A and B are shown apart, each in its own frame.
Chain A
Amino acid sequence: MTIYSLHVYRRDGVCLYRKNYNNTATLDDETESEREKLVFGMAFSLKELIGQLSPMDGSTGEQLSCPLSTVKTNNITMHAHETMTGFRFIIYTSPDIATMQHHLQSVYRIWVDKVVKSPLVKETQGGGYDITDTEFGRTAEEYLEKVPGFKR
């Protein structure tokens, strides 16, 4: 059981935070930024796909809301949580971890505490945030380290 990485995206697709844990290979900037875009694109397209496949509610005749929760392949599981404001928190883990919804919501709360309420956040050139002066990275890592299944 291992946690590989954490991504945070804004609703327009800009990646606000990405961190690899447990010695997951971090490649050069270009490949990583491409991968960030792929992850967002996949989460976005899957949300639409699931939306089309959602069942109809028997009583109201409308489609049920089914927000994307996990995507599992042979080697990894991607856990996603989208907030009401369109922020996406995505964690990649080994395939034996079934759900991280509770932890994703805790990471969101850490985000709200450390980034949203912080006066030290700067806007960068690419439209992202420079959040190195906040304590989000450190606090999130401390939280995730306590999650059972963090380390191999």
Chain B
Amino acid sequence: MFLNLFIVNKSGGLIYNIALSPSSPPLNTNDSLRIGSTFHSLHAIAVQASPNANSNANADASNAPPNVPQDGIETITAGSGLTLKCLQTLTGTKFIITATDIQQSVMSDVLREVYGIYSDYALKNPFYELEMPVRGTKFDAHVRAAVQAKETGSGFMASRR
């Protein structure tokens, strides 16, 4: 089941979080903010800490097109089937989702859908300020629906197995 969804802006500030299951860990506002910014920093550090980091960095500096966000953490797996997936958009916004026992491809699909919902119900909202927290009942509703659809879809596959 899906546990939590976070959206982090390009400066590392949390702009949206939602608990998607009764088994989601209880996170108050401060916890969520901290998780958002910690992940934002670790996302970048992961690249610096890797073995071919320096050769990659030199190559990127000269060849990379400008304004493309850096490589970073895409997936984290942990015990008990916990998986975290991150989608970083070209604008530096990160969509992060955690789940247990859901296929990684399904999680990636959900992230892409949430990105679509974000651009439809947040970015196209004339009153929405960029990089600010996302508040909107339509956004919440569509996110819940998208996650629910994928969850029952993948649950069906699991029982077929």
Contact = CB atoms under 8 A, between A and B. Distances in A.
In this complex, the interface size class of chain A, counting residues with CB under 8 Å from chain B, is 35 or more
Contacts of B4: 53
A53 B25 contact: yes
Given A27-B54, A42-B45, A56-B23, A49 B35 contact: yes
A121 interface: no
Given A31-B54, A73-B50, A78-B50, A54 B82 contact: yes
In this complex, the interface size class of chain B, counting residues with CB under 8 Å from chain A, is 35 or more
A42 B42 contact: yes
Nearest to A74: B71
A65 B82 CA distance: 10
Contacts of B55: 25
A69 B79 contact: yes
Contacts of A71: 46, 73, 75-76
A4 B56 CA distance: 14
Given A20-B51, A25-B55, A70 B25 contact: no
A67 B79 contact: yes
A20 B54 CA distance: 14
Nearest to A26: B51
A39 interface: yes
A66 interface: yes
A8 to B, nearest CB: 15
B45 A56 contact: no
A45 B84 CA distance: 15
A52 interface: yes
B158 interface: no
A53 B75 contact: no
B130 to A, nearest CB: 26
Contact of A50 (B21, B46, B82): B82
B80 A65 contact: yes
Interface in B54-93: 54-56, 71-80, 82, 84
Contacts of B46: 42, 71, 73, 78
Nearest to A40: B49
B24 A50 contact: no
A73 B56 CA distance: 13
| 10 shortest interchain CB distances as A-B pairs | A66-B78, A38-B49, A72-B75, A66-B82, A4-B51, A55-B23, A76-B50, A67-B79, A66-B79, A69-B77
A72 B83 CA distance: 11
B50 A92 contact: yes
